[in-house]
Structure 1
Amino acid sequence: SDAQMAAMKQQAPESVQGRKEFLVEVLMLTVLSQPNFVSLVGFCA
């Protein structure tokens, strides 16, 4: 078995986090490399 761990984040429509802040967070996850972070495979907005 090739088990892999995954984490998801979905921005709720009623969230106080703006679209720009959400996209900045996604960008940071693509740029940062740290052993405790999962790799960002993709996202849809």
Structure 2
Amino acid sequence: MQFIIILLLLIIIVLLLDISSRIPRRDYVKEAMQRDQDQRDQFRNN
């Protein structure tokens, strides 16, 4: 019984890793530059 549980857990982990690898990575620098630009635009409009 424990073998089946461990096997199922390993299958779930492999599936989650596969799904995670398909998601594009976040570009933190690009996000920070966009936030900075948004703040500058908001400041200019006020």
For the superposition of Structure 1 and Structure 2, which TM-score range results when normalised by the shorter chain?
Answer: 0.3 to 0.5
Structure having the higher Rg: 2
Q: Give me the TM-score of the superposition, normalised by structure 2.
A: 0.33
Please give the TM-score of this superposition, normalised by the length of structure 1. Answer: 0.34
Higher relative contact order (CA 8 A, sep 6+): 1
